[in-house]
């Protein structure tokens, strides 16, 4: 340990999966492929939503925000992860660690709120279809997206700053592959009970509360769908909500397991793999889920590709 500290100076050492060298090689390939797919898939959704006028609707406005979030979220984590996986060097500078902590936490928090807003959008579309256009007008949608971003940044400024100000007494070894609040708290050489309470409160507000609101939204949606007698309307309602519900399940299912019980999972293999799933795999799956289950996106892609071929 002393030798590592001398070698790295004041840098943090991300231990990650260093106890499994063979696994690191496999993970390098998997993470690299996932990252490339994330870049391609989310960029495609952003471009298609922008270029096709038929997709200039609230649903695709929020989906564009989600795709941009996922692009930035993975980019704040993957390059450093790939660098650490490819060789023996596992270090990250204090500045790099702070940037990664602020950016990833901000974007992750924003995504929690944005997915909730998207559930509300689906509720209005299914339960109040006649009022959808007047209710979800552009200015209101932009305001909702702004609330999501401001909430994420605000939460990060509080949590991130408090975490980084904790005294560490020379401890630099993180039992994780990224600088994240629960892992950083573990380095503190003082009583962290107050920090754990603060983290739990933040989790209630930005993780459990959005999950509850999403469940309420889909409860109303389920009631409305049950009353529908038309099979075609059934399919349309389920197609409208199915993709979002699947994305919500993937993101909240893994992130809640980490943040609700950080003591239990952090420092253990299952905690690292759960974090790997919601930071790397979920952003890769999101565009695939939306394109495979969404006729509008597939139709827009076909129209754009046919224009390119004709030109």
pLDDT tens digits for range 138-164 = 999 999 999 999 999 999 999 899 999
**CA–CA separation, 105 vs 99, rounded Å?**
10
For 96-118, give one letter per residue: b (16+ CB within 10 A) or e: ebbebbbbbbbbbbbbbbbbbbb
Q: Which residue has the higher pLDDT, 45 or 306?
A: 45
**214 is in which domain, residue-wise?**
2-310
Average predicted confidence (pLDDT) for the chain: 84
**Domain with 234 in it: what CATH number?**
1.20.1070.10
Which two tokens mark 272?
Answer: 């690292």
Cβ atoms within 10 Å, residue 222: 12
Q: Is the pLDDT of residue 86 over 60?
A: yes
Name the pTM for this structure.
Answer: 0.87
168 close to 146: Cβ distance less than 8 angstroms: no
Q: How many domains does the chain have?
A: 1
Q: Which residue has the higher pLDDT, 69 or 10?
A: 69
């Amino acid at each position: 340990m002393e030798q590592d500290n001398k070698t790295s100076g004041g840098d943090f050492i991300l231990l990650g999966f260093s106890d499994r060298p063979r696994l690191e090689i496999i993970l390098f390939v998997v993470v690299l492929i996932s990252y490339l797919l994330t870049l391609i898939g989310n960029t495609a959704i952003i471009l298609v939503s922008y270029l096709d006028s038929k997709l200039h609707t609230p649903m695709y406005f929020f989906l564009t925000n989600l795709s941009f979030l996922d692009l930035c979220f993975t980019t704040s984590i993957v390059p450093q992860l790939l660098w650490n996986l490819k060789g023996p060097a596992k270090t990250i500078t204090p500045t790099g660690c702070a940037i990664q902590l602020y950016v990833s936490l901000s974007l992750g928090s924003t995504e929690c709120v944005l997915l909730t807003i998207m559930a509300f959008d689906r509720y209005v579309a299914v339960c109040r279809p006649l009022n959808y256009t007047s209710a979800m007008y552009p200015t209101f949608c932009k305001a909702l997206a702004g609330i999501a971003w401001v909430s994420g940044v605000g939460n990060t400024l509080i949590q991130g700053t408090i975490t980084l100000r904790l005294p560490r007494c020379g401890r630099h070894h993180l039992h994780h592959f990224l600088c994240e609040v629960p892992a950083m708290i573990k380095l503190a050489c003082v009583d962290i009970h107050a920090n754990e309470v603060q983290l739990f409160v933040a989790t209630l507000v930005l993780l459990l509360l959005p999950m509850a609101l999403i469940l309420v939204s889909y409860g109303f949606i389920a009631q409305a769908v049950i009353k529908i007698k038309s099979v075609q309307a059934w399919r349309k309602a389920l197609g409208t909500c199915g993709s979002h519900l699947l994305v919500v399940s993937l993101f909240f299912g893994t992130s809640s397991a980490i943040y609700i019980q950080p003591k239990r999972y952090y420092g253990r293999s299952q905690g690292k793999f759960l974090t790997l799933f919601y930071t790397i795999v979920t952003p890769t799956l999101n565009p695939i889920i939306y394109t495979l289950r969404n006729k509008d996106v597939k139709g827009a892609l076909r129209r754009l590709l046919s224009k390119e071929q004709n030109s």
